[in-house]
Amino acid sequence: MPHDTTSPKKGFGSFFSYIDPKSELLADSKNQFNPLNNTLFYNGRHAIKYIVELIQKEKNINTFWLPEYYCQHVTHWLKQNYSNIKTYPVDPKNPDYCIEGNLFLENNDIILVNNFWGISKCNLDYQNDTVSVIEDHSHGWLSESCLNSSADFCVASLRKSVPAPLGGMAWIPNGASLKTIPLEPSPVFESVWNTVLLAMQKKAIFETQKGINDSLKTEFLSLINDAELKMHENYELGAFPEQHKETLKQYLKIDYGDFKQGNYQHLVSLLKGSEHFDLISSTETTFGLTLYFDNLDTMNAFKNHLISQQIYPSLLWPGNPKTYGYYLNIHIDYRYNKSDMTYMSRIINKFKQV
Ligand SMILES: Cc1ncc(COP(=O)(O)O)c(C=O)c1O
Q: What does the pLDDT look like over 145-154, one tens digit per residue? A: 999 999 999 9
pLDDT tens digits, 36-75: 999 999 999 999 999 999 999 999 999 999 999 999 999 9
**Nearest CA residue ID for atom 14, ligand 1:** 74
Cα 201 to middle of ligand 1, angstroms: 22
> How far lies 11's CA from each of 132, 136, 209, in Å?
37, 24, 15
pLDDT score of 3: 44
At CA 352, angle to CA 342 and CA 71, rounded to 5?
A: 75
What is the whole-number distance in angstroms between the Cα of residue 212 and the centre of ligand 1?
Answer: 30
Q: How far apart are CA 287 and CA 267, in angstroms?
A: 13
Atom 4 (ligand 1): residue with closest C-alpha? Answer: 44
Return all residues near 170 (Cβ < 8 A) that are at least 6 apart: 38, 39, 41, 47, 48, 50, 51, 153, 154, 155, 178
pTM score, two decimals?
0.96
Give yes or no for residue 13 having a pLDDT over 90: no
- Helix extents (H) in 108-180: 144-147
What's at 288, amino acid-wise? G
How far apart are alpha carbons 10 and 331 in whole angstroms? Answer: 10
Distance 138 CA to ligand 1 centre (A): 6
Distance 264 CA to ligand 1 centre (A): 23
Candidates 142, 91, 132; CA nearest to 114 is: 91
Specify whether the CB–CB gap between 41 and 170 falls below 8 A: yes
> Residue 150 and residue 121: Cα distance in Å, rounded?
11
Nearest ligand 1 atom, CA 139: 1
Nearest atom in ligand 1 to 114's CA: 1
With a Cβ cut-off of 6 Å, ligand 1 is lined by 43-45, 71, 73-74, 114, 136, 138-139, 157, 159, 168
Which of ligand 1's atoms lies nearest the C-alpha of 160? 10
